[in-house]
Structure 1
Amino acid sequence: MSDRHDTGMRQYGLICANYWTFTITDGALRMLVLWYFHQQGYGALAVASLFVFYELFGVFTNLFGGWLGARIGLNQTMNLGLLLQVASLGLLLVPAEMLTVMWVMMAQAGSGIAKDLNKMSAKSAIKNLVAKDQLFTWVARLTGSKNSLKGLGFFVGSLLFQFWGFQEALILLMVLLSVALVASLLLLDKRLGKSQYKAKFKELFSNSAALNQLSAARLFLFAARDVWFVVALPVSLAQFFGWSHSAVGGFLAGWIVVYGLVQGFAPQLVRQNKAAGSLWFWAALLSALTALIAVSIGLNGEDSRLLSQILLLSGLLAFAGIFAINSAYHSYLVVAYARADGASLDVGFYYMSNALGRLLGTLLSGWVYASFGLAACLGVSAILLLLAAVLAWGLPASVVDKQDAGC
């Protein structure tokens, strides 16, 4: 039993290292693309459009990737994600005149597929690597550490853009990913996550009422974050408050690090068997906070420099903590609700909803900000969070035993 546990922990460690490397490079890439096109004079809506394919292709990847992972193994889908990310970075190493919006959208499509293959593989694999009573703790640790490192990636990308250059930074990221890919090919268990039965194509869509309800809540939760986070906040900080690229990247990095740290401690804040019952409360609390930030920014105006910045930044740091608790409970519950054999099918369906939410938030971020400003983006966020709270009401504490019995 001890040998099995040790093997599981070694595989968990490999998955974490793989996921961490990918996450840093993905965060850095997002900032590189954002600042490059902002520097070229593109407006908020045009910059937001660069990430539309990233989110759109993530929707399909999660849906089909879960089925693929169950059939060929999660190690294969994880490695495929790394390889696709290297190729996507390579597409951006073209002469400046070729870096049109459509070309970058195509590269971002590949990156979106890669990211969601990697994430779906990592989250699904945990189901069969750790004990059921430790699931909340280990999922929270993986998710929290990943988000902290994504924050580091935002800072690294901004720093590299300001002091090194766009193409040079891309080459460095490709090298890091290539090292991770080689390690994964050599060390990751080739049987990881492969279903004992051949998953049928019709099983792409979940037939679990609890999982469908949780997925709908997740859609609105992440739309509520990205409606102000993707474009509105960084452009506001640079355009209205005069922050440098590295300063904006530093704040975004700090925000995500706070988010990731709180996620990691979420199991100590609320007991595992209370996660589902309290999910609606945390979403409602976040909605109220976001509405308060929106009103305070709207009353003071974005050009009221000092007071607006204090209200905005302190409010958004509080948002990071409460959002992290919401996200951690979501991440635990989807793994708990997933079937034991072929968990990637359920996890993939759930993260399809996550990607849809991010797509909705990205589209709204460019349009609402260009039309009405940052305060309006935060107001829309509050409404979306209220919908997430309503949808989280009445979720069962766990459906693991029921689903396991039926497999």
Structure 2
Amino acid sequence: MFAKIQNLPLAVKQYAVITGNYWAFTLTDGALRMLILLHFYQLGYAPLALAMLFVFYEVFGVITNLIGGWLGARVGLNKTMNIGLFMQVFALLMLAIPSEYLSVIYLMTAQALSGVAKDLNKMSAKSSIKLLVANVSAGDREGTLFKWVALLTGSKNTLKGVGFFLGGFLLTTLGFQGGVLLMAAVLAVVALLSVTLLKKDFGIAKFKPKFTDIFSKNRSLNYLSAARLCLFAARDVWFVIALPVFLASQLEWQHQSVGAFFALWIIAYGAVQAYTPNLFNGEKRNGDTAEKIDVNGRLIALWSTILAVVILMVFISLAISPYAEIVILLGLLVFGGIFAINSSLHSYLIVALAKEDGVSMDVGFYYTANALGRLLGTVLSGLLYQALYTDKQGLLACLLASFLLSLAAAFFIKRV
């Protein structure tokens, strides 16, 4: 077995290291989010206050994606990935102090570091794939790229779902401080292995990009980024704060049940993402002719429109049905599948459009928009839900906002 691993191409081995880093980081990131959300809701934090705990996480994610792509092109993606891993270890250790010392400002600062760490790790992983696929044998490189991106993204979200479950489990068994200490110890081991195994010069651009080059001048990339912003705002505006608080407060779910539900949803969502290339990379038979489905802006606009229709159906069903629990469970199932396909197609298209030399610049700019979308969705989720907290009205307002943002995503992506 070890001999087979040793004989693998260098690109495949580096992909395995990068994916392993990404998986480990994602596990702690998902667990930490659920730990914070459930622990501080239990302490009496209101929905908007909970949203504010994640604002610095998202704000610094925006900044990191914008600057991190430029930094990766200058110093190498191995360094930006390793910096992200060690920063997450430090952020986890910051949260290991007794709860009475965890003020809102302190929590927001720790979350800011975690946001920087997460997006350094994510940008490095996504950018690396473009370079690794270039070193794979000739053949269907675009098909390979789609599969590798989908596998990385889908498996990441599956692990994030496991992280949600882990967060609820750790809160119940070890408590908040015990949970973050355990995660910090495991991630520190992963970070030390990464320093040893990743190539030293990986991802350094042949040209030395200026700081002003962080802003994209590519029209298609700008429209794709705007669509990504709207897509993820459409998800997070009802998914991040409003839905878990609704389940806990209105439907009286236990914390373990909320954590397990979100875990299973994200795991299934990640599985669909990983499977998506089989829907589009496969061959359609038309008589004797084999034709491949072209992944472009018009195709993704169609899927974004389907997503908007699904959200509208959930909105109407929740408004008129007395069976809120059934509507949410079924609605989330369909929403998750369609959203996963959208996300997977988006993730492939940005890596495909990005320049090979200095790929992290384009990917970093794109994921800046991704982080802005999460920030917008998070703030709107807490704000709308708290403003209309009574019964189902807060969640309905968030769903309406999600519908409008999904339509905006379809509008922008069609112009790519």
TM-score (norm 1): 0.93
Structure 2 distance, partners of 1:232, 1:96, is 24
Q: 1:195, CA displacement in angstroms?
A: 1.0
* Alignment-derived partner of residue 391 in structure 2: none
Question: Please, which of 116, 120, 124 is the counterpart of residue 113 of structure 1?
Answer: 116
> Which residue type is aligned with residue 380 of structure 1?
A
Question: Please, which of 47, 53, 56 is the counterpart of residue 53 of structure 1?
Answer: 56
Question: Please, which of 370, 374, 389 is the counterpart of residue 410 of structure 2?
Answer: 389
Q: 1:269, CA displacement in angstroms?
A: 1.2
Structure 2 distance, partners of 1:268, 1:224, is 26
For residue 216 of structure 1, give the secondary structure of its aligned residue in structure 2: helix
Question: Please, which of 259, 275, 295 is the counterpart of residue 295 of structure 2?
Answer: 275
Q: Could you give the per-residue CA deviations for residues 374-393 of structure 1, whole angstroms, max 9, x where no partner exists?
A: 11111110110000001111
Q: Could you give the per-residue CA deviations for residues 8-60 of structure 1, whole angstroms, max 9, x where no partner exists?
A: 00000000000000000000000111111101111100001000000000000
Answer yes or no: is 1:257 the counterpart of 2:267: yes
Structure 1 distance, partners of 2:225, 2:263, is 27
- Structure 2 gap segments, 5+ residues each: 1-5, 282-291, 389-393
Structure 1 distance, partners of 2:342, 2:209, is 31
Cα distance change, pair 4–351 in 1 and its aligned pair in 2 (3 A): farther
Structure 1 distance, partners of 2:320, 2:190, is 48
Answer yes or no: is 1:185 the counterpart of 2:205: no
Q: 1:96, CA displacement in angstroms?
A: 2.0
Q: Could you give the per-residue CA deviations for residues 206-236 of structure 1, whole angstroms, max 9, x where no partner exists?
A: 1111110100000000000000111111111
Structure 2 distance, partners of 1:246, 1:189, is 41
Structure 2 distance, partners of 1:188, 1:254, is 32
State whether residues 60 and 115 of structure 2, in contact with CA within 8 Å, keep that contact through their aligned partners in structure 1: yes
Structure 1 distance, partners of 2:400, 2:340, is 20
When structure 1 is superposed on structure 2, of 59-68 and 189-198 the one drifting more is: 189-198
* Alignment-derived partner of residue 358 in structure 2: 342
Answer yes or no: is 1:91 the counterpart of 2:91: no
State whether residues 98 and 177 of structure 2, in contact with CA within 8 Å, keep that contact through their aligned partners in structure 1: no
Question: Please, which of 324, 343, 346 is the counterpart of residue 327 of structure 1?
Answer: 343
Q: 1:273, CA displacement in angstroms?
A: 5.2
State whether residues 159 and 245 of structure 1, in contact with CA within 8 Å, keep that contact through their aligned partners in structure 2: no
> Which residue type is aligned with residue 107 of structure 1?
A
Question: Please, which of 326, 333, 337 is the counterpart of residue 317 of structure 1?
Answer: 333
Answer yes or no: is 1:243 the counterpart of 2:253: yes
Question: Please, which of 28, 42, 45 is the counterpart of residue 45 of structure 2?
Answer: 42
State whether residues 78 and 121 of structure 1, in contact with CA within 8 Å, keep that contact through their aligned partners in structure 2: yes
Answer yes or no: is 1:29 the counterpart of 2:32: yes
For residue 129 of structure 1, give the secondary structure of its aligned residue in structure 2: helix
Question: Please, which of 211, 228, 240 is the counterpart of residue 230 of structure 1?
Answer: 240
State whether residues 220 and 415 of structure 2, in contact with CA within 8 Å, keep that contact through their aligned partners in structure 1: no
Answer yes or no: is 1:144 the counterpart of 2:154: yes
- Give me the identity figure in percent: 54
* Alignment-derived partner of residue 128 in structure 1: 131
Q: 1:104, CA displacement in angstroms?
A: 0.3
Cα distance change, pair 288–60 in 1 and its aligned pair in 2 (3 A): same
* Alignment-derived partner of residue 380 in structure 2: 364
State whether residues 223 and 415 of structure 2, in contact with CA within 8 Å, keep that contact through their aligned partners in structure 1: no
Structure 2 distance, partners of 1:77, 1:15, is 12
Question: Please, which of 368, 376, 395 is the counterpart of residue 374 of structure 1?
Answer: 395
* Alignment-derived partner of residue 295 in structure 1: 316
> Which residue type is aligned with residue 29 of structure 1?
L
Structure 1 distance, partners of 2:11, 2:401, is 43
Structure 2 distance, partners of 1:327, 1:199, is 29
State whether residues 74 and 193 of structure 1, in contact with CA within 8 Å, keep that contact through their aligned partners in structure 2: yes
Structure 1 distance, partners of 2:200, 2:339, is 35
* Alignment-derived partner of residue 199 in structure 1: 209
Q: 1:95, CA displacement in angstroms?
A: 2.4
Structure 1 distance, partners of 2:346, 2:36, is 29
State whether residues 96 and 178 of structure 2, in contact with CA within 8 Å, keep that contact through their aligned partners in structure 1: no
Q: 1:4, CA displacement in angstroms?
A: 10
Structure 2 distance, partners of 1:193, 1:99, is 38
- Structure 1 gap segments, 5+ residues each: 396-407
When structure 1 is superposed on structure 2, of 353-362 and 156-165 the one drifting more is: 156-165
For residue 202 of structure 2, give the secondary structure of its aligned residue in structure 1: coil
Structure 1 distance, partners of 2:112, 2:175, is 23
Answer yes or no: is 1:13 the counterpart of 2:10: no
- Alignment root-mean-square deviation, CA: 1.3
TM-score (norm 2): 0.91
State whether residues 73 and 193 of structure 1, in contact with CA within 8 Å, keep that contact through their aligned partners in structure 2: yes
When structure 1 is superposed on structure 2, of 110-119 and 86-95 the one drifting more is: 86-95
Q: 1:299, CA displacement in angstroms?
A: 1.8
For residue 34 of structure 1, give the secondary structure of its aligned residue in structure 2: helix
Structure 2 distance, partners of 1:275, 1:319, is 21
State whether residues 228 and 377 of structure 1, in contact with CA within 8 Å, keep that contact through their aligned partners in structure 2: yes
For residue 116 of structure 1, give the secondary structure of its aligned residue in structure 2: helix
> Which residue type is aligned with residue 46 of structure 1?
A
> Which residue type is aligned with residue 141 of structure 1?
L
Structure 2 distance, partners of 1:177, 1:230, is 25
Structure 2 distance, partners of 1:122, 1:84, is 16
